[in-house]
Amino acid sequence: MIGGFGKVILAAVAVVLFGAGIPFVWIWIGSQLQGGTAPSFGGLGVALFGIVISYSLLAVAFAWVKERISPQEGPVRHNWNRSLSAERRTGPSQTAPIEDIAAALQMAASAMRDKGIQVRMLMAFAVPADEVLYATFSAYSLDSVVQTCKQAGIPVERLSSDVLLGSMPPGGCAEAAHAIG
């Protein structure tokens, strides 16, 4: 096998040969077909077409050699490049505990709404350095937020209330609750 320094020398020779050699060869061929000093589309066309075809054939040849040296089981698919149908075929991916907690709170809030208790999780964000997850809810009472968190199995460490603007509950009390914990 070729050592590290040999690979660097081989790469430098390949860059010079393929990066400059192929265009120079096709420009020389085009100049031989031109037949004079006035530019002609025949010579230019052959040079440009030859360069494109040469690089295309080199790409195919290098891909063939690479596949023979290190075969893979199909194309490499990164997580961000997967479609939803790929997820259905491979099964669900692993989630982080933070995602599980946020999903549990969201599902509990949905279950509470199904029971007629108006509570909605607006957002959740984590502060990993403090090992804490903050969840913001919109609800008509503090108790409905506490019940939602209990149903999700998440302890509430701190609650603060705020005024809900633009909407009034049936009883007329405009108190909203935001759970943090």
Provide the token pair at 66.
Answer: 């690479």
User: CA-CA distance, 172 to 95, in Å (whole number)?
Assistant: 41
Element (H, E) at 50: helix 41-69
Q: Which residue has the tokens 């040079």?
A: 47
The three-class DSSP label of residue 111 is helix
Closest by CA to 162, choosing from 133, 142, 143, 134, is 142
Percent share of the chain, pLDDT over 90: 14
Contact call for residues 152 and 170 (beta carbons, < 8 A): no
97-180 carries CATH number 3.30.110: no
Q: Where are the domains of the chain?
A: 4-69, 97-180
pTM, to two decimals: 0.40
Contact call for residues 144 and 105 (beta carbons, < 8 A): no
64 pLDDT band (50/70/90 cuts)? Answer: confident
